[in-house]
Amino acid sequence: MPEREPAREAAAAPSAPESAPDRAAPDETRPEAAAGRSTPDRSPPAEAHDARYASHLNESLKSPTPATLSIPRKTVPPLRGSHESLVRQNEKTEAEGLERIEDSNDLADRIARGLLVPVPASSALTVNPSLPQELRYCRPWTSNFLADFARAHNALFHRPIVVSSAVRTVQYQKHLELVNGNAAAAEGDIVSPHLTGGTVDVAKADLPRNELSWMRAWLKNLQAAGQIDVEEEFQQACFHITVYQNYTSRPILVRKPGTKPKSRRRHPSVANALAARAM
């Protein structure tokens, strides 16, 4: 099934600068299609995605506006995954028209066409050094999610989140199956959502209880809104997060730990005031 271009990426984009990498002509057929694999849809120049990505990242790194999730008072239970969740992730990414990325050449092609953007590394977000450079990419809406998540987390805990995995190719996933018994399948009807580039893993090893509860609460709210699916993994100690194209940034109240919201001043009614005077 050909990969459909996301609606938000369909807007006309500025022409590419002379230094931009070569891109296939709109009606050009990729070699992979000749080998029997579906050909991805046409895409706008990468500069359009890069500009939107850079703009969102710059905004996300500014001082948080009044609004982000406060730290829960009680421990939030783990967000355990299930087979039903994995099936849903596969069904939704297929409905969004996202293809599985076969190999390094396929990956490089999608990066060049702006279908994948870099994981938004910053002072609020770091990438596991062991993750290969070519696998430090994700879908644009996943990048937006990560920038928002990292900004809010850094505002409360003053340290970065760590992305331990992002896009994967079928070729790479087959290797993981050999060395990691917990890895999802690389081929078949139900496979790892990492193969579409919309999924990332955020490390959670050795996190304090209040920080872990905050992450769970934040992710749980977005999952309830149907914008992500999350599975908390314990063998690999991470949050496996699939972000969908309907993800939108929103103002979120940031409250420093230990502070209480200001109570509203209550004004007595006229009747109460008169009664108080009569006493």
Q: Which range is least confidently modeled, 74-88, 91-105, 228-242, 250-264?
A: 250-264
Domain borders along the chain are 41-256
Rg for the chain, CA atoms, rounded: 22
Q: Kindly report the length of the chain.
A: 279
4-37 pLDDT per residue, tens:
544 444 344 444 444 444 434 333 334 343 333 3
pLDDT in tens, 118-137: 999 999 999 999 999 999 99
Question: For tokens 């938000």, what's the residue?
Answer: 8
> Taking 60 as the threshold, does the pLDDT of residue 169 lie above it?
yes
Question: What's the pLDDT score for residue 33?
Answer: 38
| CA dihedral for 202, 206, 209, 210, sign (positive or negative) | negative
Instruction: Look at 177 and 44; give whichever has higher pLDDT.
Output: 177
233 vs 187: which has the higher pLDDT: 233
Q: Which tens digit of pLDDT belongs to each residue from 223-245? A: 999 999 999 988 889 999 999 99
Sheet with strand 238-243: strands edge to edge: 125-127, 161-165, 199-203, 238-243, 228-233
Residue 275: what pLDDT? 56
Q: Which of 110-114, 172-176, 273-277 has the highest mean pLDDT?
A: 110-114
Say how far apart CA 4 and CA 98 lie, in whole Å. Answer: 7
Rounded distance between C-alpha atoms, residue 240 and residue 194, angstroms: 9
Query: What are residue 257's phi and psi, to 5 degrees?
Result: -55, 135
Q: Which of helix, strand or coil describes residue 277?
A: helix
Tell me, what's the pLDDT at 55? Answer: 52
Is 138 strand, coil or helix? Answer: strand
Most confident of the ranges 53-67, 127-141, 178-192: 127-141
Q: If you average pLDDT over residues 71-86, what whole number do you get?
A: 83
Q: How far apart are CA 158 and CA 206, in angstroms?
A: 16
* pLDDT of res. 84: 87
Is CATH 3.30.1380 correct for 41-256?
A: yes
Q: Is the pLDDT of residue 184 over 90?
A: no
Which residues is 137 bridged to in the sheet?
118
pLDDT of residue 13: 42
Positive/negative CA dihedral, 81, 83, 85, 90? positive
Q: What is the mean pLDDT of residues 104-128?
A: 96
Most confidently predicted of 37-46, 64-73, 219-228, 247-256: 219-228
Q: CA–CA distance from 58 to each of 53, 147, 201, 261 (Å)?
A: 9, 9, 23, 29
Tell me how far the alpha carbon of residue 82 is from its chain's centroid. 20
How distant, in Å, are the alpha carbons of 44, 172, 190, 234 from that of 37?
22, 18, 18, 35
Q: pTM value?
A: 0.66
Distance from CA of residue 109 to its chain's centroid?
21
Mean pLDDT of the region 65-87:
74
What six digits make up the tokens of 49?
Answer: 């995605």
Degrees, nearest 5: CA angle 190-108-44: 95
| Cα gap 5→247, rounded to integer Å | 16
pLDDT classification of 249: cutoffs 50, 70, 90: confident
